[in-house]
Amino acid sequence: MRQRFPEQFRVEKFVTDVLSDSSLSAGFQEYDGPVIEPLALFAAKSGGELVGRQSYSFTDRGKREVILRPEMTPSLARMVASCGELQLPVRWFSMPLCYRYERPQRGRVREFLQFNLDILGSNSLASELEVILVLNGIMKTFKAPSSIYRIGWSSRRFMTDALSRCGVKEELQSSVFSAIDKRDKMKEDEWADYLLQACGSDTEVAEKVAFLVLVESLSDSWLVSLMAESSAFREVQKFDQLLKKTGISSAEFSPGVVRGLDYYTGIVFELMDTGSGNRRSLCGGGRYDNLVGLFGTGRISGVGFGLGVLTLTLFLESYGLIPESVKQAALADVYIAVASPSVVADAGLLAEFLRSRGVRVMMDVSGKKLGKQFSEASRNRISRVITVGENEVQKGIYRMKNLSDGKAAEGSAEELIRVLR
Amino acid sequence: MRQRFPEQFRVEKFVTDVLSDSSLSAGFQEYDGPVIEPLALFAAKSGGELVGRQSYSFTDRGKREVILRPEMTPSLARMVASCGELQLPVRWFSMPLCYRYERPQRGRVREFLQFNLDILGSNSLASELEVILVLNGIMKTFKAPSSIYRIGWSSRRFMTDALSRCGVKEELQSSVFSAIDKRDKMKEDEWADYLLQACGSDTEVAEKVAFLVLVESLSDSWLVSLMAESSAFREVQKFDQLLKKTGISSAEFSPGVVRGLDYYTGIVFELMDTGSGNRRSLCGGGRYDNLVGLFGTGRISGVGFGLGVLTLTLFLESYGLIPESVKQAALADVYIAVASPSVVADAGLLAEFLRSRGVRVMMDVSGKKLGKQFSEASRNRISRVITVGENEVQKGIYRMKNLSDGKAAEGSAEELIRVLR
């Protein structure tokens, strides 16, 4: 279970702050939904496995079948559907805690923060472009060079058309999609067998599908002739041009990217580490057309992505992109050392005054000797110590020592604030 | 269940930001624990009722008895106990989601954010003073005048001694404490009966206890003679002087404040609305001596408080202390209107450039006509609109209109940034 000591918390906060700030900087607004949701909300749309063995579901005291949300999108869809007066499009993001009951492993825990960003109510490819711009902006803010990550993308609509042109029968589409999604998790020959089976043991079809998945360029002549006159192919070409024109060099058309969740219908994408350290996708997303409609309003199309904060943090750490200053932050600007118990209240008054002027102040509460209080300041990486004793209180003049260079300043509280700035 | 649309989220964030910033400003560090905890962690220390009927507890798929944490302090105690190398004292705060299964009512919901702030490992009264200074600083930051709130305080140790001097038998102490805690929730005569019963139907004892609870001053002569030679009384007097000297005018000695939770052992306090609108306490806290020891390390004393974010928000709203600008915030500095589908990528590039320079940019994704895009900007309270069309892209010169005064500026992206600043 997720437990964060302060140093770990600072790292997580560094990561989530970049995610929030990048979202706000693009006009997205934050929202949140309940952790405990009706089981039925997820049973319909997330696929059986997730809701079955892999969830925290239980019956509450009011005899309701509930679940600790495994993901956010169904709650988002219900929230958007519930406010009829909402003017579209909406740009929303969230940083929910989500739950999954499975064996914990690296980057995979039972309680996890999952960043979500969505645009609802726009059919234009500008939405897909915008969410990928935000995602790419996030990576740039973390100073991740574009060589270490890849945004692989494709389209469900395009792949549905392409699979059918490869000869996949309609009733086998969903199992072929699922086989394609599992490609990275299996050995090559194992996967070939798995795919063949998904294709109804039709060798010719399976070969075409395997070939399709390996296509790397939209101008591949086999692909162009396979997809002649396909509107889904035209959409994919158009989106490719948009990405190229905005110079997102890490974006790559990859027919093998189909994303596991059932609800995607259009463009899909994922963020991958190009190195070998983090094999899971850092983020997955795409367009879903039929989700909000489940909750009663008309069809509202959405585009969005989810990103695991822990997976991203491990990725950033493995490339040295979490600044040491985040872990080793000074806990305050000044430490107030208290020379005797008789001046505790005076120290408190001084602390309050400095804090009200924007200075971060740690006040001694240990009651130990002055020397130990100075060590306490160092231990907390605080470089300045103001000593408060009876003399100082009487005169209103304090001595502030700089522990890094040993120099000292003397003056009233006002004057010391000036030194601090 | 807690569900936050963006406007509500902004209000909550405004409140939680003040709580975090005030804590950081006093050298406290943020941590977090798991939402799902072993039931046993709470069964021992929180009192039967909370763990029994009023909790979300269930058996997980691994046959563990678990609970969605109803409060944070036991998890904090375990975390502190688990890291033996931790140097004391520690100043930690947290903003956990907590859970309670009870009938929802105003200010009382099943899923709630509970701010927690604690100092562990210091026996000095300076710790009690420091946490109350932070609490008072929070109220000042919200611009709450000291007339609208009251920090009532007392001491468990003092009250234990005082009750015994009033003639309460040791075996009745805990039920008398519980009766005192319920005083504000009952009618006067109803409470008198309840107290009498708690005192083993001894009228003389019950009268003394009722008298004790009403004492308003530490120099009350009846109290002074009752508590002659009591070290707990001396501690209370000393703390009273500390509070008076630091000028916390909202702090008031109130023997009736005992706090419900079993684990408090020393000074206890609560924050109350002095008006009639919010009868519940906004915050409760105190010193607990025996909690960390439950987890194996030696005795570590702690002082802290918990504060319900929703209750505080309702309090602030009832006094008009949530600024209108929080609810009605502009969602971006600039809206980028897209004149034709052919320039979507160029608009994206401009958006990316402005964002990288610290400008918050909402880019059109609706694909609607320009007039509608301008309305979209207004609706999101964005006062400036940059229009991107083929002409603009060719020349690299954009027109930015200020919707509030109708004026327009023209220039390169760089030049427009200067206008925005």
Does residue B51 sit within a domain? no
User: Which residues from chain B sit within 8 angstroms of residue A361, using beta carbons?
Assistant: 25-27
A158 & A274 share domain = yes
Query: What pLDDT does A276 receive?
Result: 75
Q: A192-206, A253-267, B132-146, B287-301 — which is least confidently predicted? A: B287-301
A261 confidence band (pLDDT: 50, 70, 90): low
As a whole number of angstroms, the distance between CA A28 and CA A117 comes to 8
As a whole number of angstroms, the distance between CA A91 and CA A303 comes to 10
Q: What is the mean pLDDT of residues A393-416?
A: 96
B192 & B341 share domain = no
B44 confidence band (pLDDT: 50, 70, 90): low
B99 & B147 share domain = yes
Q: Does B67 touch chain A (CB under 8 A)?
A: no
Q: Is B128 a residue whose pLDDT tops 90?
A: yes
Q: Which of B242, B359, B380 sits opposite A345 (nearest CB)?
A: B242
B144 & B208 share domain = yes
Instruction: Count contacts between A and B (CB, < 8 Å).
Output: 235
pLDDT tens for residues A269-287?
999 999 876 667 899 999 9
B181 & B259 share domain = yes
Q: Is B145 a residue whose pLDDT tops 60?
A: yes
B 354-383 → A contacts, CB under 8 A:
355-356, 358-367, 379-380, 382
A 163-192 → B contacts, CB under 8 A:
none
B86 vs B171, residue with greater confidence? B171
pLDDT tens for residues B370-411?
999 999 999 999 999 999 999 999 999 999 999 999 999 999
Q: What is the mean pLDDT of residues A91-95?
A: 97
As a whole number of angstroms, the distance between CA A335 and CA B252 comes to 29
Match 């919010």 to its residue by tokens.
B278
Q: Does B208 touch chain A (CB under 8 A)?
A: no
Does residue A265 sit within a domain? yes
Final residue belonging to a domain, choices A307, A325, A343: A325
Q: How far is A227 from chain B (nearest CA, A)?
A: 24
Minimal-distance CA residue of chain A relative to B6:
A31
A130 with B79: Cβ contact below 8 A: no
Q: Which residue in A152, A158, A162 sits closest to A243, CA to CA?
A: A152
As a whole number of angstroms, the distance between CA B10 and CA B267 comes to 35
As a whole number of angstroms, the distance between CA B260 and CA B62 comes to 33
Q: In chain A, pLDDT over 70 holds for what percent of residues?
A: 95
Does residue A11 sit within a domain? yes
B366 & B282 share domain = no
Does residue A151 sit within a domain? yes
Report residue A354 as tokens.
Answer: 């400095």
Does residue B64 sit within a domain? no
Query: What pLDDT does A184 receive?
Result: 82
A362 with B27: Cβ contact below 8 A: yes
Query: What pLDDT does B342 receive?
Result: 95
| H or E stretch covering A63 | none
Long-range CB contact pairs, A413-421, < 8 A, 24+: A413/A350, A413/A353, A413/A354, A416/A354, A416/A386, A417/A354, A417/A357, A417/A359, A420/A333, A420/A334, A420/A359, A420/A384
B50 confidence band (pLDDT: 50, 70, 90): low
Q: Are the C-beta atoms of A1 and A320 separated by less than 8 Å? A: no
pLDDT tens for residues B253-308?
999 998 876 788 999 999 999 987 666 789 999 999 877 777 766 778 999 999 99
Q: What is the mean pLDDT of residues A90-108?
A: 87
A314 & A334 share domain = no
Does residue B26 sit within a domain? yes
Q: What is the mean pLDDT of residues B175-198?
A: 91
B32 with A26: Cβ contact below 8 A: no
Q: Which domain holds residue B414?
A: 330-420
A316 & A339 share domain = no
Query: What pLDDT does A94 receive?
Result: 98
Report residue A110 as tokens.
Answer: 């039972």
B3 with A124: Cβ contact below 8 A: no
Instruction: Tell me which of A68, A352, A361 to substitute to probe the interface with B (most B C-beta atoms closer than 10 Å).
Output: A352
Q: Is B311 a residue whose pLDDT tops 90?
A: yes
User: Which residues from chain A sit within 8 angstroms of residue B301, using beta carbons?
Assistant: none
Q: Which amino acid is at B391?
A: N
Minimal-distance CA residue of chain A relative to B331:
A27
Q: What is the mean pLDDT of residues B162-168?
A: 96
B51 confidence band (pLDDT: 50, 70, 90): low
As a whole number of angstroms, the distance between CA A270 and CA A111 comes to 22
Instruction: Output the domain CATH number for residue A409.
Output: 3.40.50.800
Instruction: Output the domain CATH number for residue B278.
Output: 3.30.930.10
- Total number of domains constituting chain B: 2
For the purposes of burial, counting CB atoms within 10 Å of the CB of B137, is it exposed (0-12), middle (13-18) or buried (19 or more)? Answer: buried
Q: Does residue A59 sit in helix, strand or coil?
A: strand
Q: Which of B59, B122, B332 sits opposite A27 (nearest CB)?
A: B332
Q: What is the mean pLDDT of residues A157-163?
A: 96
Q: In chain B, pLDDT over 90 holds for what percent of residues?
A: 76
Q: Which of B101, B130, B348 sits opposite A363 (nearest CB)?
A: B130
Query: What pLDDT does B40 receive?
Result: 86
Query: What pLDDT does A58 receive?
Result: 85
CB atoms within 10 A of CB A293: 14
Q: Is B234 a residue whose pLDDT tops 90?
A: yes
A349 & A369 share domain = yes
Rounded to the nearest 5°, which phi and psi values hold at A98? -125, 165
User: Which residues from chain B sit within 8 angstroms of residue A24, using beta carbons?
Assistant: 360
Query: What pLDDT does B282 receive?
Result: 92
B291 & B344 share domain = no
A230 confidence band (pLDDT: 50, 70, 90): very high
User: pTM for this one?
Assistant: 0.94
User: Which residues from chain A sit within 8 angstroms of residue B295, using beta carbons?
Assistant: none
Q: Does B218 touch chain A (CB under 8 A)?
A: no
As a whole number of angstroms, the distance between CA B19 and CA B25 comes to 10
Q: Going along A6-107, which residue ranges are E strands?
A: 29-30, 36-38, 57-59, 65-68, 90-94, 97-99
Instruction: Tell me which of A79, A327, A344 to substitute to probe the interface with B (most B C-beta atoms closer than 10 Å).
Output: A344
Q: A151-155, B67-71, B93-97, B262-266 — which is least confidently predicted? A: B262-266
Q: How far is B245 from chain A (nearest CA, A)?
A: 6
Q: Are the C-beta atoms of A386 and B109 separated by less than 8 Å? A: no
